[in-house]
Structure 1
């Protein structure tokens, strides 16, 4: 078994806002992309243990797309989200640090892409999340 891959960011915003932006379908559609030429066209979240989530990620030129979906296995409001997707699992931790929140995502790697590619892709999405959360922290 391979070790999980971990990505991390600091978000200069209150924990309540960081949590909301991470878990709200309306917000997810705004930040959930690894690069400018991709976007999330749909997102659904049933934030409870046993609840499911899904997001549709597509290239803006329409050339390709995929669904990212899974089931929540643990939820601790403002602290932890764990979920499974396919035969893999992920853990998202939210830790307040002063006036910011450290968000750490650990996930099981797939067998298709290199560890570096997966880490870069997930980090890019997390960086996009942090930028959006900071930009919207004082309301819309």
Structure 2
């Protein structure tokens, strides 16, 4: 792989930041209770009111925490395994690495754009940027 030295730096950073962001989303349980909020259009929604996703609706906070579980249980291990296989020269490993980088790219682009502003916004932006750069660096796969 032509961009192997760059990817050897980017992939561990993505894995570490991914574990940090997903762990904070799951285990940061700031106290509080869900509360009702009426939007400017008159629709009443329930705001989460606790944890990292304090200002998100209860529904979107549950979806984001589900995505955090998938990132911890599936995303990061697949990233590590696919990187190991890709660096050994496996075509399947390189294809899997491209796909899992696409997952991180999509996930953290969504977290940047769709999540209410929270303490991890800059971590989301960093993960999005690192994933985008690593995804583009995989151009020599095919």
Q: Return the TM-score normalized by structure 1.
A: 0.28
Higher-helix-fraction structure: 2
Larger radius of gyration: 2
Q: More relative contact order in 1 or in 2 (CA 8 Å, sep 6+)?
A: 1
Q: Return the TM-score normalized by structure 2.
A: 0.28
